[in-house]
Amino acid sequence: MPQAALAEGKRVALHAPQELQDTGVLKYALPRFSLKTQISVALVPPADADILLGAQGTPLFQGPAQLWHMDIRTVGDTDVDRLADWLTGEVGQRTILAFAPEGVPLFTAPQKIAKAAAQVSYDGDAIAGYAIAQAKCGRCHAVDEAGRKNDIGSTPSFFVLRAFSDWEQRFAGFYFLNPHPAFTQVADVTDPFAEDLPPAIVPVEMTLDDLEAMMAFVAEMAPADLGAPLQHQ
């Protein structure tokens, strides 16, 4: 993660097994923590870690093939405590559970904290989120009633997407879902475009603050009425 914007001296050493790193969830989640707290998180070997993710400690999340726990090795450090609180709190849990690189969430909450993570609110600026959605997404998706006349017919409107039960996962990780990776850049999260595969259209560029504001806007949106589910005979 870029360090220029992080306060000097604020750093937490985290160990995570390679199989967890390979899912991409840490690259997805940790920049969000650093953005809000100005605390950098470095992935280190187990012997150097303030916090270890693995099979021991406080349950955090389940998936893809095991229940992941948090084991705090450095006690009484304010920055370590802030990361631990974030990982077990509403915002951190919401972030991890929203990670869905193929459109399907990879992780679920342990039973004992699932209820706490179920009802959350977004602290982004919904008014700013509306403007961001219009500017960044409006060329393809209808983000308000007026936009329904100009959107691409093959792309769902925000109203339709808001009606899906997994709308949070879809929006939080939209840049993982095709066709977005080909033309979307989220600062400090996505990799740069390959030199031999430049975007075919003007890129969509945003920050995590932009995304949180947009999700605050979508959270307040009335979902489309999709009618009753189809009944199969």
pLDDT in tens, 9-38: 689 999 999 999 999 999 999 999 998 899
pLDDT of the residue at 3: 40
CB 76 within 8 A of CB 41: no
Domain assignment present for residue 225? The answer is no
Lookup result for tokens 């707290």: 37
**For the residues 166-192, what does the mean pLDDT come to?**
89
| Domain identity same for 108 and 151 | no
Domain boundary among 84, 102, 118: 118
| Domain identity same for 15 and 113 | yes
Domain assignment present for residue 2? The answer is no
pLDDT of the residue at 118: 44
| 49 SS3 class | coil
Domain assignment present for residue 230? The answer is no
pLDDT of the residue at 151: 55
| Residues 118-146: tens digit of each pLDDT | 445 577 888 999 999 999 999 899 998 77
| Domain identity same for 103 and 154 | no
Q: How far apart are CA 208 and CA 176, in angstroms?
A: 14
pLDDT > 90: what percent of the chain? Answer: 49
| Residues 94-123: tens digit of each pLDDT | 999 999 988 888 999 886 544 444 445 577
Lookup result for tokens 């220029």: 4
Q: How far apart are CA 61 and CA 97, in angstroms?
A: 8
Count: domains in the chain: 2
| Domain identity same for 20 and 113 | yes
Report the 10 Å Cβ neighbour count for 86. Answer: 20
Find, among 36, 50, 99, 102, the residue nearest to 78 by Cα: 50
Domain assignment present for residue 65? The answer is yes
Domain assignment present for residue 229? The answer is no
Lookup result for tokens 């945003």: 206
Domain boundary among 118, 149, 182: 118
Q: Which two tokens stand for residue 232?
A: 């199969």
pLDDT of the residue at 123: 72
| Domain identity same for 104 and 138 | no
| Domain identity same for 114 and 140 | no
Lookup result for tokens 């004992």: 112
Q: What domain range is 197 assigned to?
A: 126-219
Domain assignment present for residue 203? The answer is yes
pLDDT > 70: what percent of the chain? Answer: 85
pLDDT of the residue at 232: 47
Q: How far apart are CA 116 and CA 109, in angstroms?
A: 10
CATH code, domain with 23: 3.40.190.10
* CB half-sphere exposure, 226, CA atoms < 13 A: 13
Domain boundary among 83, 118, 153: 118
